[in-house]
């Protein structure tokens, strides 16, 4: 069962790295990746103010990406060394809370910048 959790934590860490890549594209190239921030039926070219959307969401994407990477790394460390104990459950709760807050912020920005 530990190998299943290790795999899950590895996937979480890799997803965090991808989220940081999405932040990089937003911040330095001005690109918005549709697959992580927008639903399938929403197109980037219909955005009311792309620069304002990027300015609003880039810090949130960076924070969320960092949280996801750290949670994935802590999860891998817990699976290998078992030194976090119950603090690991607190980290899982923080990860879930960060995910819910990020989704709420992304939906709020979606309503604000798309018709």
pTM of the model: 0.90
Whether residue 87 is predicted with pLDDT greater than 90 in this model: the reply is no
Alpha helices in the chain (DSSP H): 2-24, 34-37, 50-81, 87-113
Report the C-alpha gap between 60 and 54 in whole angstroms. 10
pLDDT at 1: 42
Per-residue DSSP letters for 84-109?
-TTHHHHHHHHHHHHHHHHHHHHHHH
Q: Is-contact 72 88, C-beta < 8 A? A: no
């Amino acid at each position: 069962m530990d190998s299943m959790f290790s795999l899950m934590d590895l996937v979480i860490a890799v997803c965090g790295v991808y989220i940081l890549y999405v932040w990089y594209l937003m911040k330095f190239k001005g690109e918005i990746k549709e697959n992580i921030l927008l639903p399938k039926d929403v197109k980037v070219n219909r955005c009311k103010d792309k620069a304002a959307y990027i300015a609003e969401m880039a810090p949130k994407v960076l924070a969320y990406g960092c949280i996801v990477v750290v949670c994935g790394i802590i999860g891998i460390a817990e699976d290998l060394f078992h030194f976090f104990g119950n603090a690991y459950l607190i980290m899982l709760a923080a990860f879930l809370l960060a995910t819910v807050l990020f989704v709420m912020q992304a939906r709020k920005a979606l309503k604000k910048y798309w018709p």
